[in-house]
Amino acid sequence: MAKNIKLSVDAMGGDAAPAIVMDGLVEARLRYPHVKYLVYGREAEITPYLDKHPSLKHCCEIRHCDDVITGDQKVSQAIRQGRNSSMWNAINAVKIGDAHGVVSAGNTGALMAMAKLSMRTLPGIDRPAICSLFPNQVSETTMLDLGANAQCDVHNLVEFAVMGACFTRALKGIEKPRVGLLNIGSEDLKGTDLLRDAAEILRESDLDMDFVGFVEGDDIMLGSVDVVVTDGFTGNVSLKTAEGAAKLYTEFLRSAFKSSLMAKLGYLLIKPVLSKVMARLDPRKYNGALFVGINGVAVKSHGGTDAIGFANALGVAVDMVDRDLNSSIGEQITHLNFVATESTQATKTA
Amino acid sequence: MAKNIKLSVDAMGGDAAPAIVMDGLVEARLRYPHVKYLVYGREAEITPYLDKHPSLKHCCEIRHCDDVITGDQKVSQAIRQGRNSSMWNAINAVKIGDAHGVVSAGNTGALMAMAKLSMRTLPGIDRPAICSLFPNQVSETTMLDLGANAQCDVHNLVEFAVMGACFTRALKGIEKPRVGLLNIGSEDLKGTDLLRDAAEILRESDLDMDFVGFVEGDDIMLGSVDVVVTDGFTGNVSLKTAEGAAKLYTEFLRSAFKSSLMAKLGYLLIKPVLSKVMARLDPRKYNGALFVGINGVAVKSHGGTDAIGFANALGVAVDMVDRDLNSSIGEQITHLNFVATESTQATKTA
């Protein structure tokens, strides 16, 4: 376990900021007593939480910023006008060495753009990706890109595979994670140039992964592989589809359990085991998406999460700093054999 | 209700053919007593089912074919060598006017390729799409393309929107179905050229739909719109992701209900209401994907379905023949205002 980890936190990002951020820090303080936080935002709004939770005074240092990047702000505008914002300053704290990693529940596009601008990408990485976990029947599946790059070329996909494998190894200790490229079932469509080229490079490179070739959408939650690699358009749609399916199931079950006296009684009896199932599927458990490929640690929390969810996002940052993910990516990327192909097609122009 | 509908059926397609096909016909005979079937396949394998279910003798005519297109056969090979196959001959029955529509649980790629080759596409339609229903919180969402076209241009997406709206109107009687184009959340990525151009054409054309603009992956199962339009790569991944999520939920619940004596008792009490929920989510309910845009009615059943599922696929064909979907598409397509854009970019080369 690491020593002296310091994270910078954007206290003003997310739907219920700074409340959920500060309550999340209270939870995180219990889990990670060795971690300190630089809390960026409007001092007048943040201070009351330190008065309410005196324990935070030992681990938090408030750094006042006047401005807030809103959720609907355009990225270009955020970049131009956001230099006094809590988001920019929290990110920049990592750049200048004040913090080891940054966590924000704010505007995803702005956070990614600012992180790239301030910290830059890792050597050898063309584009960072959004990387997170999905529940599966056995444990969890790492998936990327979840929305940073709607258009990807062969190199992007290959680099995502390397980064996803390193992330999974760092997080779970799996020496050679099983990695699959997301594709569709029809044999004739399988392995179009872009995906075939990416698969060829991954097969021919000497990497710390078990590259299994192509997988399909249902493999994500079946747990057939440890890492699923795709472009940001497909990944985002897949993530949101899974969220929609989970909501549908939960909603149907909720209304069924209330629909008769017998069902209500039955619900009381199954409630303990049902809570365990729901805990495994709880979106808060999977909160905290890593911007992998950034030369630093940057984690995005869902904007609508609560304190527990935000603490989980802080936990992702703690783990990644602790396990020095970026060194492992830097080492693996040198093993890529890019000579095999010259394809630079985009997966989508959409 | 229609008169004298005749469907051609590929008795040899699917994992458990011809058993599930023939058992599906028994079920369909009860539901659609006015429909007749031309049953293509190996007579020696089919006849025993007619002896077992004498009711089938009144509605089925066997047409012997020596060959079977297998699930793993390449499309190009199926096309070249499949002229004596049950699939080709069932399709061709529609082409030559012997049947109003065809249903097969066989190789999707071969079925689509043969249907295009034999029946051709509707006038004004560049490419057919695979169209089916997803459950949502209110009723069902029509979604296309589910995998026929990994690469789509602006015209394809616009035509999918028109066809999806016509399908939904024919099936459900919704006069102006709400139609959304699938996109991802980030504001800066929203409305890239391809999707923006498609949206513009749909907004500017005088169509029988309520075009709502962009939707995201979670809208599919929330039921925010009646029709979700996307390319075949994204659509297929989304479909399979939803299937994977459903399996995960079902599996988690199943094991939870068996995990203690109290849970088992509770399960007995909630079983009646749970069965209703499961019935709404039953994949068999959504079996039968229409190849919309084909100049004829062609329906693909899931290869692993059972008799109930296959009967549902037959039901899709009956509905589409009955409601004359293709005339309505032909009329709507003339309202498209394609002048607005010249974009012909592919959504993916993947």
A133, A200: one domain: yes
CB contact under 8 A, B135 and A240: no
Has residue A151 been placed in a domain?
yes
* Phi, psi for A8 (deg, rounded to 5): -100, 140
Per-residue pLDDT, averaged over A168-191, amounts to: 84
Express each pLDDT in A318-345 by its tens digit.
Answer: 999 999 999 999 999 998 877 544 444 4
E strand segments, A3-44? 6-10, 36-41
CATH (domain of B181): 3.40.718.10
A187 has pLDDT over 70? no
Question: In chain A, which residues have their Cβ closer than 8 Å to the Cβ of B186?
Answer: 108-109, 147, 236
Dig out the tokens for B211 from the structure.
């075009």
A48, A83: one domain: yes
pTM of the model: 0.92
Express each pLDDT in A31-50 by its tens digit.
Answer: 999 999 999 999 999 999 99
Four-point Cα dihedral B338, B339, B342, B346, nearest 10: -10
Give the nearest partner residue to A237 out of B75, B234, B269, using CB atoms.
B234
A146, A234: one domain: yes
CB contact under 8 A, B221 and A238: no
Question: In chain A, which residues have their Cβ closer than 8 Å to the Cβ of B263?
Answer: 269-270, 272-273
A247, A135: one domain: yes
Please count the residues of chain A. 350
Task: Determine the structural domain holding residue B237 and report its residue range.
Answer: 129-283+331-340
Dig out the tokens for A176 from the structure.
């050679």
- How many angstroms separate the CA of residue A107 from the nearest CA in chain B? 9
B84, B191: one domain: no
B190, B242: one domain: yes
CB contact under 8 A, A182 and B265: no
Other C-beta atoms lying within 10 Å of the C-beta of residue A258: 11
Chosen domain end from A119, A143, A167: A119
Question: What's the CA gap between B292 and B9, in Å, rounded?
Answer: 18
A21 has pLDDT over 90? yes
Could you please report the per-residue DSSP string of B86-132? HHHHHHHHHHTTS-SEEEE-S-HHHHHHHHHHHH-BPTT-SS-EEEE
At B115, the amino acid letter reads A
Per-residue pLDDT of chain B (350 residues; tens, 9 = 90+): 456 899 999 999 999 999 999 999 999 999 999 999 999 999 999 999 999 999 999 999 999 999 999 998 999 999 999 999 999 999 999 999 999 999 999 999 999 999 999 999 999 999 999 999 999 999 999 999 999 998 899 999 999 999 999 999 999 999 999 999 999 975 555 667 899 899 999 999 999 999 999 999 999 999 999 999 999 999 999 999 999 999 999 999 999 999 999 999 999 999 999 998 888 888 899 999 999 999 999 999 999 999 999 999 999 999 999 999 999 999 999 988 775 444 444 444 33
Chosen domain end from B64, B86, B119: B119
Has residue A185 been placed in a domain?
yes
Question: In chain A, which residues have their Cβ closer than 8 Å to the Cβ of B345?
Answer: 349
Tell me the β-bridge partners of A104: A10, A300
The sheet that has A227-229: what strands, in order across it? A60-64, A36-41, A6-10, A101-104, A297-300, A289-292, A129-135, A140-144, A227-229, A178-182, A210-215
Chosen domain end from B91, B119, B147: B119
What is the rounded end-to-end Cα distance, in angstroms, of chain A?
43
The count of domains in chain B is: 2
- Contact predicate B155/B293, CB 8 Å: no
Give the nearest partner residue to B217 out of A230, A238, A347, using CB atoms.
A238
Give the nearest partner residue to B238 out of A72, A188, A238, using CB atoms.
A238
Has residue A311 been placed in a domain?
no
Has residue A19 been placed in a domain?
yes
Has residue A289 been placed in a domain?
no
Chain B residue with CA closest to A196: the answer is B350
Other C-beta atoms lying within 10 Å of the C-beta of residue B209: 24
A195, A84: one domain: no
Has residue B325 been placed in a domain?
no
Question: In chain B, which residues have their Cβ closer than 8 Å to the Cβ of A187?
Answer: 72, 74-75, 109
Question: What's the CA gap between A69 and A107, in Å, rounded?
Answer: 7
- Contact predicate B142/B133, CB 8 Å: yes
